[in-house]
Structure 1
């Protein structure tokens, strides 16, 4: 798996290269977590119904599942946004606010890869490494809400003022007023010869120029501080209806050997979201999965679980206080029906999730609930998972949205 780490390092290096400093660029808090298609297909995602949103160029996830969170995490992965990852310049907010499908597609098309290790301790059963690969993109998304537009326009105005060489407030600066008075006195002093007057005027003009430059620099520094404060909590919130498409598969490797590999799952799904623009979001999903090998853990080992097709349908409700934008809670219910095997009963997945933004483009989420099968736990059908995700490459070019 060393090639995965090499790819990840290359991605981060490319981010640093293609996102140079620019007065019109800010580093926004653009991470949406969790949203990995690969984790979803592996059955280790903290949520089966992911909320859409704007993305960082590269995001990495580490998950510790069950076992009282005492074991070393065995689930990890990453997600990349090719359009911004291999960029020539940061994406602009005008582009991000577009409702054209071609713009939406290239800005939301992501590739994700996840790895989950199944370790059978104290048994003679083989060890499995599951590799999930997936892609996702938005078919439709709304524009930014009014609060987001106002913040972006305010930042843009400050940036334009800096680029246009904003002048300091000369009229009220006492030091500059004293220098101006000194210049007038020198000019009006009839006792000074022309040579002495010229020397003194040059000296005072130099002091005036230096002071004006200081005031200009202070004005720019104040504007930069305003930009920093306004962009600190800037999130690209949108109000209205979203529709996302995702697809991918899982390859299983026995004893971490490439010669002992097989496709264990394939799937695709649509996720619809209605964001109220306030504290609540409502999501729904329709998902088809095809599993050539198995579907459920079977204690009796008597079910023929080959070539199983399932159809999932469910809803998720998310509460996140817009004024704070830190802590969010959600609950989801997902019903799975088996399409071609009467011997296997349909089942439910019910999950409670809490997520907290622990820093810019960093989030920690905790999940508790009942899963379809035993994919995350040793006993029963309980999910307990702690997921950490961090994003890189969130610089955006601020353009006026007026």
Structure 2
């Protein structure tokens, strides 16, 4: 029986979205959706930009796109990107601090920036690049070797959050110290009471009255044993928490604050952190370096059992970001195209196994903390296989605007490599919507 690939992809999108939304209820989120990054959609030719700017990633990101037709048709291109480190991270005290997130390189950066990308493309008779009876799917990856440093605004807000967190952790340590000591006293007191229950009891008296009295004492002892066990469990929980808080420093002034005042101040700290987080954007500047790649397949007649490799590739993006004057990015990308390649305008190349090398630059206009960014991108595609086909090029103008936190509207317009889809035969226009989930830090 034939299985429709787009049905499967839609179900995956729905399930992943529900998972991500459930996870969002845990903590206050940061706005991390600085720029759409989807290596899989790069391979299928419907990404907003081929040259992506490295950013801190969402745990889960979904994007929908429609192209041309006056934007009157339903979205036909879908992409899902997940960051395994953030999506499946364990909850711990380290997750609520900012320590380590400012590191620009190293093994931890590789894990935190790794993105696994999935994309699906459906087309119509307008496009000459893809077979309208087929569905195309791609798998990709991306990670940062250098992810840049926090800009001044990010550093200032993180410093404020760190100070607030240290104060709250100190209050937590004081509270658990008090709870541990109080439970320790109560456990010893209850144990002594249980031991004293049988003092003076005459075990030689076998009268019914004395036996009934013994049963009463045993019930009281069992009740005290249950209470003691519950308090021991609570004491062990406090001990574990104190072990996690062993490096937290507590000042003498903080120790003098009474429990009611500490609870009030802890609530105020939570409110202040939430207020900062609502407007907070993690932005990075200076040098960045990304590696990405992937592979795509064509599913003929939208059938899993009838497929072939469409293309595959690997690429790197290097760039530099300034706080006030935007970003300059460069791309080097190798693509392997079995069976055919679309490097000529409106023509399908029938030469098998052709490899290409893309080189290009992109300049993004916009401050590091800006909600609106626009860019211009130019890429030259050279053919590595001699005596085959001519080279081609791509010129794109891109714009994106953060309409809400972790929600971005994108627009791209320009000339694609194959030069298809609109009236004059060499322009492409696309409108997209991107949403990110699971951005607690």
TM-score normalised by the chain length of structure 2: 0.71
1:189 equivalent in structure 2: none
**1:163 offset after TM fit, Å?**
4.5
After TM superposition, list the pairs within 5 Å mapping 1:20-169 onto structure 2. 21=26, 26-89=28-91, 90=95, 92-120=97-125, 127-165=133-171
**1:140 offset after TM fit, Å?**
1.9
Q: In structure 2, do the counterparts of structure 1 residues 153 and 302 end up closer, same or farther at CA, with 3 Å as the change threshold?
A: closer
1:364 equivalent in structure 2: 409
1:170 equivalent in structure 2: none
**1:272 offset after TM fit, Å?**
0.3
Q: Deviations over 1:168-224 (max 9, x none)?
A: xxxxxxxxxxxxxxxxxxxxxxxxxxxxxxxxxxxxxxxxxxxx9887666555443
1:103 & 1:268 partners in 2: Cα distance? 22
Q: Deviations over 1:109-160 (max 9, x none)?
A: 1111111112227x9x761211111011112223323321210110222233
Q: In structure 2, do the counterparts of structure 1 residues 302 and 359 end up closer, same or farther at CA, with 3 Å as the change threshold?
A: closer
1:393 equivalent in structure 2: 438
Contact 2:346–2:420 (CA<8 Å) still a contact in 1?
A: no
Q: Which runs of 5+ in 1 are unaligned?
A: 167-211, 397-402
Structure 1 residues 133-142 or 54-63, which shifts more?
Answer: 133-142
Structure 2 SS opposite 1:48? coil
1:196 equivalent in structure 2: none
Q: In structure 2, do the counterparts of structure 1 residues 98 and 91 end up closer, same or farther at CA, with 3 Å as the change threshold?
A: farther
Q: Does 1:283 align with 2:329?
A: yes
**1:343 offset after TM fit, Å?**
4.2
Q: Deviations over 1:245-284 (max 9, x none)?
A: 1111110112101232111111110100111233311100
1:42 & 1:302 partners in 2: Cα distance? 16
2:177 equivalent in structure 1: none
**1:71 offset after TM fit, Å?**
0.7
1:306 equivalent in structure 2: 352
1:309 & 1:301 partners in 2: Cα distance? 17
Structure 1 residues 35-44 or 1-10, which shifts more?
Answer: 1-10
**1:94 offset after TM fit, Å?**
1.8
After TM superposition, list the pairs within 5 Å mapping 1:299-378 onto structure 2. 303-322=349-368, 325-374=370-419, 377=422
1:107 & 1:302 partners in 2: Cα distance? 40
1:399 equivalent in structure 2: none
Q: Which runs of 5+ in 2 are unaligned?
A: 1-5, 173-257
Contact 2:401–2:408 (CA<8 Å) still a contact in 1?
A: yes
Q: Deviations over 1:284-307 (max 9, x none)?
A: 000001111222276886853321
Which has a greater percent of helix?
Answer: 2
1:27 & 1:300 partners in 2: Cα distance? 45
Larger of the two Rg values belongs to structure: 2
2:298 equivalent in structure 1: 252
Structure 2 SS opposite 1:96? coil
Alignment RMSD, CA only? 2.8
Contact 1:84–1:91 (CA<8 Å) still a contact in 2?
A: no
Q: In structure 2, do the counterparts of structure 1 residues 302 and 153 end up closer, same or farther at CA, with 3 Å as the change threshold?
A: closer
1:159 & 1:16 partners in 2: Cα distance? 25
Q: In structure 2, do the counterparts of structure 1 residues 91 and 63 end up closer, same or farther at CA, with 3 Å as the change threshold?
A: farther
TM-score normalised by the chain length of structure 1: 0.78
Structure 2 SS opposite 1:78? strand
Contact 1:18–1:86 (CA<8 Å) still a contact in 2?
A: no
**1:322 offset after TM fit, Å?**
4.0
Contact 2:28–2:277 (CA<8 Å) still a contact in 1?
A: yes
1:62 & 1:245 partners in 2: Cα distance? 24
Q: How many residues align?
A: 346
Contact 1:363–1:389 (CA<8 Å) still a contact in 2?
A: yes
Structure 2 SS opposite 1:228? helix
Structure 1 residues 301-310 or 3-12, which shifts more?
Answer: 3-12
1:131 & 1:263 partners in 2: Cα distance? 10
